Amino acid sequence: EDKVVQSPLSLVVHEGDTVTLNCSYEVTNFRSLLWYKQEKKAPTFLFMLTSSGIEKKSGRLSSILDKKELFSILNITATQTGDSAVYLCAPANFGNEKLTFGTGTRLTIIP
Amino acid sequence: DVKVTQSSRYLVKRTGEKVFLECVQDMDHENMFWYRQDPGLGLRLIYFSYDVKMKEKGDIPEGYSVSREKKERFSLILESASTNQTSMYLCASMKGALGGNTIYFGEGSWLTVV
């Protein structure tokens, strides 16, 4: 059975801090890993990672995948209150149109 | 921009009622999905469809059925709603194969069964 574990489950930091969110996974026929940000409604797409060691970056957010150790991290630098959200990771596998989502990390940024 | 529209945002239904949740996407995507999201359990897949009239069970299909008569529309049906089906339901769509493409979500439908 596919498994995804995100840590920490929740995190409270001050504005300006840097945070690192973790996602470890066990899936058969791994293809890619996706990160989503969810505020009050639907998740919005952040990154798709398919190759180990190649950092993807978007503004203050960056993410990297380690396919050998089966984990990914999402970094947010110089956090802002608008970064407060639940961050979800989801590995996808070949031949099975199904994403397995982690339970998410709830990030709260205090002004 | 891809648009996935869930027509009912907030519903309150009685136990035993039949409930329809409708989802429409406007980008000619082959794949559509229904998830439910509950605190502490994350997003769980109920059903997905990879083509018109085709459907596959997800992780928690019990108590649900689906209908995909047209490519753009994927309906989730609760034949006889129960209180443990109170949840937030998310529809999603995707073009092509998972892993090579991203999945787009609707805004969510909050269902309360009393």
- Looking at chain A, the whole-number percentage of residues with pLDDT higher than 70 is 95
Q: B56 to chain A: nearest residue by CA?
A: A97
What domain count does chain B have?
1
pLDDT at B99: 53
Q: Name, in order, each residue with C-beta under 8 angstroms of A28's C-beta and a sequence gap of 6 or more.
A: A2, A93
- Looking at chain A, the whole-number percentage of residues with pLDDT higher than 90 is 60
Residues of chain B with pLDDT under 50: none
CATH 2.60.40.10 fits A3-110, yes or no: yes
Q: How far is B113 from chain A (nearest CA, A)?
A: 20
Q: Note the residue count of chain B.
A: 114
Domain CATH number, residue B47: 2.60.40.10
Q: How far is A39 from chain B (nearest CA, A)?
A: 11
Which residues in chain A touch residue B94, judged by CB atoms under 8 angstroms apart?
97
The string of pLDDT tens digits covering residues A45-76 is 898 898 888 899 999 999 999 989 999 999 99
Domain boundaries along the sequence of chain A: 3-110
Q: How far is A47 from chain B (nearest CA, A)?
A: 9
**In this structure, are residues A58 and A72 in contact, taking their beta carbons and an 8 Å threshold?**
no
The string of pLDDT tens digits covering residues A7-49 is 999 999 999 999 999 999 998 888 888 899 988 777 888 988 9
Query: B interface mutation test: which of A9, A27, A65, A99 has the most B CBs within 10 A?
Result: A99
Q: pLDDT-derived band of residue A86, with 50, 70 and 90 as boundaries?
A: very high
Mean pLDDT score across all residues of chain A? 90
Higher pLDDT, A78 or B105: A78
Query: Residue A101 and residue B108: Cβ atoms within 8 Å?
Result: no
What is the span of the domain harbouring residue B39?
4-113
pLDDT at A97: 59
pLDDT at B104: 86
Which value, in Å, is the radius of gyration of the alpha carbons in chain A?
13
CA distance B105 to B91: 6
Residue B89 structure tokens: 């339901």
Q: Name, in order, each residue with C-beta under 8 angstroms of B105's C-beta and a sequence gap of 6 or more.
A: A42, A43, A44, B4, B90, B91, B92
